[in-house]
Amino acid sequence: MGSKTEKRQLMIFIVTAYGIPYLLGILMWYGSAKQINLSAFPATQMLYPAMGVMLAYLLTRKGDRELPKAFYISFILVTVVSIVLTVLTVLSPDVMIAMPGGDVPLFLLASQYVMIIGGIICLICYFAAGKYRRAAYGMKGKNWKKSVGCIVLFLVLYLLRIGIYNVFAGQLESFLAIFQSVEAWVYMAFLPLNFLLGYIAFFGEEYGWRYYLQPLLQKKFGLRKGVLILGVVWGLWHLPLDFFFYVTPDKGLIMTVNQIITCVCLGIFLGYVYMKTENIWAPVVIHFLNNNMVLVVSGEYSADVMSDQSVSWGDIPIALLVNGVLFGLFILAKQYREKEAASAAEEALSALQLF
């Protein structure tokens, strides 16, 4: 897929983004069998794709003065510390710390603080890098009018999806009750603050998938096929979480199929947003909203809502239909038309080339 340097970069990315979560999947299997709290794993895993990109560039572009080294190194350090703490949540689950609400696993709490404090440190390094370095490596925010429009569009589609699911389940009243809940409105009012404290995980995924891997796959396979392949790749990346966190292992295959459907369809929409705005922060915000609005629509304001979900094969056709119509149809947008979008794709890919 290009020069030797690009192939080396891709190999570093794959080993980091896929190798680490699949290796730690063995630990997740053990933790699941022992009924250990595995809630540190999803957030930490979200950091791996960006770390893969950063390691690839640090190792292959050592002489590039525009490389945002401080930001990259701080992000990698946060990820490494998070990995260590995440491993310790399984190896030493009984080490507790007293909190006002009761005893909490020490290493689980520490991993959350590392994510928050590390995110703030990375944000400082991000701004210290300067606009030229941020722009050179796809991190500069721009085209905010288009970006906000895409974010609002996603919220409308997201709520429409939840509404449709509730209609199928005969629970429309439960959906309408969301808009009458004071707790829901208060939580949504704090979403900007929550984003500031937890953005690093969502940047971790989107910088790897949308900024780095999407242009590579689209160059090789075309704009539409490339984003479809990316969706499958993204879905399979969740495999350890699908079997040992989101559901119990006996439901892992169903969850994996459902995950691939979601990632392909949502990946089409996120790819559309990224090509339209050329702003990595637009898909980062959308990804954040996609994960955090679950708490609002479920009425359970705890990260535990993501674990031990109930899924069945009967859910698959509905998921395919609803996600396919609401998000998948964006593959027909002009951004995915080969001739019209070719120049934009080349511009995105040029940022990945060796300087």
Q: What pLDDT does residue 120 have?
A: 97
CA pair distance 235, 343, nearest whole angstrom = 28
- Enumerate the H helices of 92-222 as residue ranges: 106-128, 130-136, 144-168, 172-178, 182-189, 191-206, 214-221
Q: What pLDDT does residue 302 have?
A: 72
CA pair distance 314, 349, nearest whole angstrom = 40
pLDDT at residue 337 above 80? yes
Structure confidence by residue, pLDDT tens digits, 123-144: 999 999 999 999 999 999 999 9
Structure confidence by residue, pLDDT tens digits, 147-164: 999 999 999 999 999 999
How many residues make up the chain in this entry? 355
Mean pLDDT of 219-232: 97
Question: Rounded to 5 degrees, what angle do the CA atoms 71, 280, 286 make?
Answer: 115
User: Among positive and negative, which fits the CA dihedral 166, 193, 303, 247?
Assistant: positive
Structure confidence by residue, pLDDT tens digits, 275-292: 999 999 999 999 999 999
Decide if 141 contacts 281 (C-beta within 8 A).
yes
Quick one: pLDDT band at residue 1, thresholds 50, 70, 90? low
Mean pLDDT of 166-195: 90
pLDDT at residue 308 above 90? no
Mean pLDDT of 285-309: 87
Higher pLDDT: 212 or 175? It is 212
Share of the chain above pLDDT 70, in %: 94
CA 250 vs. chain centroid, Å, equals: 25
pLDDT at residue 352 above 80? no
Q: What pLDDT does residue 304 have?
A: 75
Decide if 140 contacts 131 (C-beta within 8 A).
yes
115-139: buried (b, 16+ CB within 10 Å) or exposed (e) per residue?
beebbebbbebbeebeeebbebbbb
Question: Could you tell me which of 226, 229, 234 has the C-alpha nearest to residue 290?
Answer: 234
Higher pLDDT: 51 or 102? It is 51
Q: What pLDDT does residue 98 have?
A: 92
Q: What pLDDT does residue 355 have?
A: 47
Mean pLDDT of 337-355: 57
Mean pLDDT of 317-346: 84
- Enumerate the H helices of the chain as residue ranges: 4-14, 20-33, 40-45, 48-60, 69-91, 106-128, 130-136, 144-168, 172-178, 182-189, 191-206, 214-221, 223-237, 239-244, 252-277, 281-298, 315-326, 338-350
Q: What pLDDT does residue 2 have?
A: 63
pLDDT at residue 310 above 90? no
Average per-residue pLDDT for the chain: 93
CA pair distance 32, 30, nearest whole angstrom = 5
Q: How far is CA 105 from CA 148, 153, 301, in A?
A: 38, 39, 19
pLDDT at residue 77 above 90? yes
Mean pLDDT of 255-262: 97
Residue whose structure tokens are 């949540």: 89
Structure confidence by residue, pLDDT tens digits, 19-74: 999 999 999 999 999 999 999 999 999 999 999 999 999 999 999 999 999 999 99
Q: What pLDDT does residue 175 have?
A: 86
